[in-house]
Amino acid sequence: MSASPTVTAPVALRPIDDRPEVPMRDAWGKGLVALAAEYPELVVLDGDLANSTRADLFAAAVPDRFFELGIAEQNMVGMAAGLATVGYVPWISTFAAFLAKRALDQIRVVVAQPGLNVKLCGSYSGILTGKTGKTHQSVEDLAVFRAMPGVATIAPADAIELRSAMRAMMETLGPVYLRLTRDPSPTIFPDDYAFRLGAGVLLCDGEDVALISTGVQTVRALDAADLLAADGIAATVLHLPTIKPLDTAAVVAAAERTGAVVTAEDHSIIGGLGGAVAEALAETRPTPMRRVGWRDTYGESGPNDALLEKYGLTAAHVAAAAREVLGAGRPAS
């Protein structure tokens, strides 16, 4: 796994009045159907959640390559490993919370260590899991997979990036963890956008502060950049759809340009994007930083807006962290 060259100019985003809200899980189900037509070796294994993860779209379209393995995630991962050894490319359908923890040792021993070509898809990641609460919210999946040698880790921002990332996953030999979300979120990338594994994506190029984000939090980072612009603060927004391999060059470039970094993720600030960026900068270019994400806590069930507000994940929280890190000043040089 090596990072591709870093994007240096901001990519074009969709116009602000053309950002349809699409549930990533729907795009995932449709994406599987589209890929199945091209890749006869693609199979989908489900842990009795297909109508939540939207693997049911695949089950309806390609029934002979859909396998319902029941509520038994450890066995599902093991069977995926077996199928991979005989030439199939299994995509696993379950929730991030269960995949990353219930089947963790299985992923380690029969998928990651032998480097088998299994696509680990964790749906319902983060805090917005349809009022299911802390058992179903996934606060540490990025940290888990980022620490596991040999597993590429991806968290797309929207349905367009997801579609492109899924193709890249089929073209990448070896285990990949794909972080998916449940609820509709704005589509920010144009139809012709192309995801590249390991490459950061520069969305805004401001000189005052760098907002570095992943997954659907990138949409809130863009909103935060707007809030900051109203205060005369010019933000860089660097989207990192790949947490591993991390685009360290892009992170360092953003830190160098701005001298202040805020990370934003719907995940624990420990071990995920914030952890990865802090580690990268500490070893290359120590930079004042704030991490926006879950603050070492479990969540609860509740309406989305209330959850984002209570756990500090809104655009306003990202903007406030930016003001704070700027106010804290930069180290004397």
Partner 1 sequence: MTETVAIAQPRPSLADLRRRSAEARGLIVAAVHKAGAGHLGGPLSATDLLVALYFDALNVDPERPRWDERDRFILSKGHSSIGLYAVLALRGYFPVAELDTFDQIDSRLQGHPDMSKLPGLDMSTGSLGQGLSPGVGMALGARLKGASFRTWVMLGDGELQEGQIWEAAFVAARYELDSVTAIVDCNGLPQFGWPETGGFTRERSFDDPGAKFAAFGWHVVECDGHDHGAIRDAFAAAVAHKGQPTCIVAQTVKGKGVSFMERDFNWHAKVPTDDHLATALAEIEAIRAQPGEEG
Contacting residue, 28, 66, 88, 98, with partner 1 by CB under 8 A: 88
Residues 6 or more apart in contact with residue 133 via CB below 8 angstroms: 299, 300, 301
Q: Which stretch binds partner 1 (CB under 8 A): 12-20, 68-76, 197-205, 224-232?
A: 68-76
- Per-state percent for the chain, helix, strand, coil, to nearest 5: 40, 20, 40
Decide: is 106 part of the binding site for partner 1 (CB under 8 A): yes
Q: Does 148 bind partner 1 (CB under 8 A)?
A: no
Q: Which is nearer to partner 1, 101 or 323 (CB)?
A: 101
Q: Are 251 and 200 in contact (CB under 8 A)?
A: yes
By CB under 8 A, tell whether 87 contacts partner 1: yes
In the list 11, 48, 62, 115, the residue contacting partner 1 (rule: CB under 8 A) is 115
Please say which residue, 23 or 114, places its beta carbon nearer to partner 1. 114
Of 44, 46, 53, 78, the one binding partner 1 by CB under 8 A? 78
Q: How far apart are CA 63 and CA 68, in angstroms?
A: 10
Please state the φ and ψ torsions of residue 65, each to the nearest 5 degrees.
-120, 20
Among 7, 22, 48, 74, binds partner 1 (CB under 8 A): 74
**Residue 256 interacts with partner 1 (CB under 8 A): yes or no:** no
**Interface with partner 1 includes 89 (CB under 8 A)?**
no
Query: Applying CB under 8 A, which of residues 1, 11, 62, 67 lies at the interface with partner 1?
Result: 67
Q: Does 101 bind partner 1 (CB under 8 A)?
A: no
Helices 159-171 and 24-38 cross at an angle (nearest 10°) of: 40
Q: Is 161 part of the annotated catalytic residue set?
A: no
Going across the sheet that includes 89-95, the strands are: 66-68, 42-46, 89-95, 119-123, 176-179, 152-154, 242-244
- Residues involved in catalysis: 73
